């Protein structure tokens, strides 16, 4: 019944193992043990499960940490469980993404600029970090340099920036005309949001709020 292929396609028991792993992970929050997979997947022996786990690992579908209990990680999120009657009413999609935890360095008052703490402040608490999916950023940024600022103040609606929004920025090396930039007033240790214009060799900073 089941064709013996060693190609990229998955065999029936391999798929079952993957589905069981995913389901277990989703319901319990941690990966299953081999015996958990055996039970949920109605496998006859732990060695069989291990047998397929080895295959799945060499195929690159999972990663395993040797001699570590529940050391199984799904490489792909969901993917292959299509086949047959795919019938998937699109609901919640689960995927793995690069997530960046960007420190929120301070706040910007769109109207009146506000103090920004020194760059080497001792700690970051929960409120000072924002998680952003990598796919939401403009492609490939120098990730290490990114930081975030929270916007206070009701103005700046014209720039699609509202009160409470968190702006993710990078230290600009090259700035173009019309860019919305956060200007760091070095002497004042303050930051404010301005539109940037370079005119006749002189820099003009247009306030973002009308």
Partner DNA sequence: CTTGACATCGAACGAATGTTCTGGTATTAT
Partner DNA sequence: ATAATACCAGAACATTCGTTCGATGTCAAG
Binding site for DNA (CB under 7 A): 1, 3-4, 6, 11, 13, 33-36, 43-48, 50-52, 55, 64, 66-72
66 interacts with its own copies by CB under 8 A: no
Among DNA, its own copies, none, what does residue 51 contact (CB within 5–8 Å per kind)?
A: DNA
Q: CB-wise, 79 or 206, nearer to its own copies?
A: 79
By the 10 Å C-beta count (0-12 exposed, 13-18 middle, 19+ buried), 5 is classed as exposed
Q: Does 33 bind its own copies (CB under 8 A)?
A: yes
Is 174 an interacting residue with respect to its own copies (CB under 8 A)?
Answer: no
Contact set for its own copies, span 89-118 (CB under 8 A): 89-103
CA 198 to CA 175: how far, in whole Å? Answer: 9
Q: How far apart (Å, rounded) are the C-alpha atoms in residues 55 and 7?
A: 11
Task: In angstroms, give the least distance from the CB of 187 to its own copies.
Answer: 24
C-alpha 22/C-alpha 12 separation (Å) is: 15
* CA–CA separation, 102 and 128 (whole Å): 8
């Amino acid at each position: 019944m089941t064709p013996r292929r060693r190609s990229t396609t998955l065999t029936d028991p391999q798929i079952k193992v993957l589905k069981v792993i995913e389901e277990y992970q989703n319901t319990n929050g941690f990966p299953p043990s081999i015996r958990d997979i055996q039970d949920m997947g109605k496998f006859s022996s732990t060695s069989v499960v291990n047998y397929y786990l080895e295959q799945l690992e060499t195929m690159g579908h999972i990663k395993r940490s040797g001699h570590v209990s529940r050391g199984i990680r799904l490489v792909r999120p969901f993917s292959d469980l299509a086949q047959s009657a795919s019938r998937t009413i699109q609901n919640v999609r689960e995927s793995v993404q690069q997530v960046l935890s960007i420190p929120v360095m301070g706040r910007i008052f769109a109207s009146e600029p506000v103090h920004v703490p020194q760059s080497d402040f001792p700690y970051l608490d929960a409120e000072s970090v924002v998680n952003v999916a990598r796919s939401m950023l403009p492609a490939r940024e120098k990730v290490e340099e990114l930081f975030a600022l929270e916007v206070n103040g009701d103005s700046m609606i014209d720039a699609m920036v509202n009160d409470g929004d968190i702006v993710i920025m990078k230290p600009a090396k090259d700035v173009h005309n019309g860019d919305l930039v956060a200007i760091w007033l070095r002497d004042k240790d303050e930051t404010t949001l301005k539109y940037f214009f370079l005119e006749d060799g002189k820099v003009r900073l247009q306030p973002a709020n009308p």
